[in-house]
Amino acid sequence: MKTPRLLLALGLLSAFLRLSAAPVDSRISAVTVYQDRAVVTRTATVQLSGGTAELIFAHLPQALNEQSLQVSGKGTAQASILDVSAKQTYVDYTPDARVKELEDQLKAFAKQMRGYDDRANLLNTQQAMLDRMEAALFALPTKDVPRPELNQFTTSLNFLIEQKSKLVTERATLDEQREELQNRANTVQAQLQELRGAGGKAFKTVTVRVAAAQAGSLEVALSYTVPGASWVPSYDARVASSERTVQLDYFGIVRQGTGEDWKDVALTLSTARPSLGGAAPVLSVWQLDLYNPIALREQAERSRRNDMMMAKAAAAPSVNMQTLTTNGVGNEADFELKDARYSSATIEAGATSASFKIAVSSSIPSDNSPQKVPVTSAALKAVPEYLTVPKRQTAAFLTSKVVNSSEFPLLAGAMNVFLDGTFVATSGLRTVMSGEKFDLALGVDDGIAIKHKRVQKFTEDTGLTNSGKRITYEYLITVQNNKKTMERVIVADQVPLSRNEKIVVKLLSPDAKDVKPTDEGTLKWTLDLKPGEKRELTVKFTVEYDNTVNVAGLE
């Protein structure tokens, strides 16, 4: 009976000896940034001697979402991934080196400020001593303390004046030093508050257990989701009026405070919004009943538990359980390095979103500072035209009708507009899909002269007994093209609308056959003006109403 027990003990000992655990040297190789989070991929190459091994990824961000862990790998060890686990470790120091540095600076500032406070207390003590000396010098003489001689009085008085002057100067210098130190401390404190969102005095450790059929190498990729990262689109639109084109430079403004610096990573910007969930919300039954606070609380609690269970199931961790027998390293895309101005991301369009793989490696520090990365640059055809509303402003605003002929969807974001190399406006771009039209507002162009004046306002009585009034309004709009090219100008004006049957508005000019007012009373002319051409437009209408009513809105 001893032999089987001995063999069992030797087998357990052999299995124990074959189980190895060691921290791995990993680096962040790829990051996908969403609007409110990021998926970080760490890679590490390890040598396995066969058997079961534990690969430990230490000092990961505290805010790491354990439900999002994903593991994959390739190598020659013919390894299988058994499981992945995460645990949180609390320490008595700050793991983030940048946060620790700022905390040390604040401690040094506090120590220096205490030194200034001690010096200020000493100056107050010296001031009190000088005040007592001054009081004694000017005190009335007594039997025990006679009046000092003149030279003694003069010497003491000069000493007091000199010492008090020194105190005033030193206090002023001390106040300046304290103010400067406080400003530096406030700056560091603001930076610290930005960075502390990544976590406190704790970090997470992820352990990946693998079983290797034989000795060999294995490249492991660990992916996890962290909050504290986001990106927004930004655009530079450069309009060449002579060429009638728009050079649209598309950028992503990336910020992150995840607690990890991203150095030379393959960066991807995704338009997906995982925070909204994968399916449309479900309508619950809308019930009316007598008010019962206890029943309402129980119902709300049941609904909350159901929502949490659905969210947990949707975010379950993913582990690649297949045997890994492929030789070589991971399948990262090879990125072609281009000039930053003209580099273009690779777009991967999904069923519900798009991902932009940035063409060059990127470095994003974990300090929430905005980092501008190029997405693409496209030359788009532009059809310029002018829009003017002389009644409101006697100016012609240049706009360009542009078609998004690129394959990239243009998400809503801020846009800087340059006209012939000159910055003219900051505006916003709405979301524009590929093939869709949009307008670029390019600001005022003085090459189109606009004038607007009221020619007449004539009031007369109407009716057999002068029971009504008629007011005739006439306006003249002048548009002149002072440019050397033919330009299209759209002119907008209006006539009032009556909301009461006792008020009648009649349009006299322009003829309704030529320009018909819209339901809102808007008049629009489309003018194609040759170089130097001038056009005059007349707006004339009457307003008739009964004397028994007071009309609001008349000019």
Tens of pLDDT, residues 318-334: 444 333 433 333 333 34
Range with the lowest mean pLDDT among 342-351, 419-428, 515-524, 534-543?
Answer: 342-351
Please give the backbone phi and psi of residue 546, each rounded to the nearest 5 degrees, phi first: -80, 145
Range with the lowest mean pLDDT among 26-30, 189-193, 258-262?
Answer: 189-193
Instruction: Give the domain-ending residue among 171, 198, 225.
Output: 198
pLDDT digits (tens, 9 = 90+) for 29-75: 999 999 889 999 999 999 888 888 899 998 898 888 999 999 998 88
Give the C-alpha separation, 47 to 20, whole Å.
Answer: 11
Is 522 part of any domain? yes
CA distances from 300 to 208, 297, 304, 305, 310 (A): 39, 5, 6, 9, 16
Give the C-alpha separation, 357 to 32, whole Å.
Answer: 9
pLDDT digits (tens, 9 = 90+) for 384-425: 899 999 999 999 998 888 999 888 888 889 999 888 888 888
Instruction: Give the domain-ending residue among 168, 198, 228.
Output: 198
Query: What are 231's two structure tokens?
Result: 């990106």
Please state, rounded to an integer, the average pLDDT across all residues of the chain. 81
pLDDT digits (tens, 9 = 90+) for 219-272: 999 999 999 899 999 999 888 877 778 889 999 999 998 888 999 999 999 988
Q: Which pLDDT value is given to residue 513?
A: 85
Closest among 199, 196, 189 to 110, alpha carbons compared: 189
Give the C-alpha separation, 265 to 272, whole Å.
Answer: 20
Packing angle of the helix pair 150-195, 97-137 (nearest 10 deg): 160
Q: How much of the chain, in percent, has pLDDT values that exceed 70? A: 82
Is 315 part of any domain? no
In the chain, the N- to C-terminal Cα span, in Å, equals: 114
Q: Cβ distance 253 to 375 under 8 Å? A: no
Closest among 504, 512, 430 to 470, alpha carbons compared: 504
pLDDT > 70? residue 432: yes
Give the C-alpha separation, 270 to 229, whole Å.
Answer: 12
DSSP secondary structure of 89-109: EE-SS-S-HHHHHHHHHHHHH
Confidence of residue 1 (pLDDT cuts 50, 70, 90): very low
pLDDT > 60? residue 17: no
Q: How much of the chain, in percent, has pLDDT values that exceed 90? A: 29
Alpha-carbon dihedral 119, 121, 122, 128, rounded to 10 degrees: 150
Is 114 part of any domain? yes
The DSSP call for residue 60 is: E
Q: Is the dihedral of CA 508, 510, 511, 512 positive or negative?
A: negative
pLDDT > 50? residue 338: no
Q: Which pLDDT value is given to residue 40?
A: 95
pLDDT > 50? residue 195: yes
The DSSP call for residue 148 is: P
Closest among 326, 342, 319, 346 to 334, alpha carbons compared: 346
In this prediction, residues 175-182 reach a mean pLDDT of 87
Q: Which pLDDT value is given to residue 9?
A: 46
Is 64 part of any domain? no
Higher pLDDT, 259 or 94: 259
Task: Give the three-class secondary structure for 495.
Answer: coil
Domain count, the chain: 2
Higher pLDDT, 488 or 336: 488
Report H helices in 331-435. none
In this prediction, residues 174-187 reach a mean pLDDT of 86
Confidence of residue 344 (pLDDT cuts 50, 70, 90): low
Q: Which pLDDT value is given to residue 77?
A: 83
Range of the domain at 523: 448-546
Please give the backbone phi and psi of residue 453, each rounded to the nearest 5 degrees, phi first: -145, 150
Instruction: Give the domain-ending residue among 178, 198, 218.
Output: 198
Confidence of residue 317 (pLDDT cuts 50, 70, 90): very low
SS3 sequence, 9-32?
HHHHHHHHHHCEEEECCCEEEEEE
Is 89 part of any domain? no
Task: Give the three-class secondary structure for 134.
Answer: helix
Is 303 part of any domain? no
Is 339 part of any domain? no
The DSSP call for residue 228 is: S
pTM of the predicted model over 0.85: no
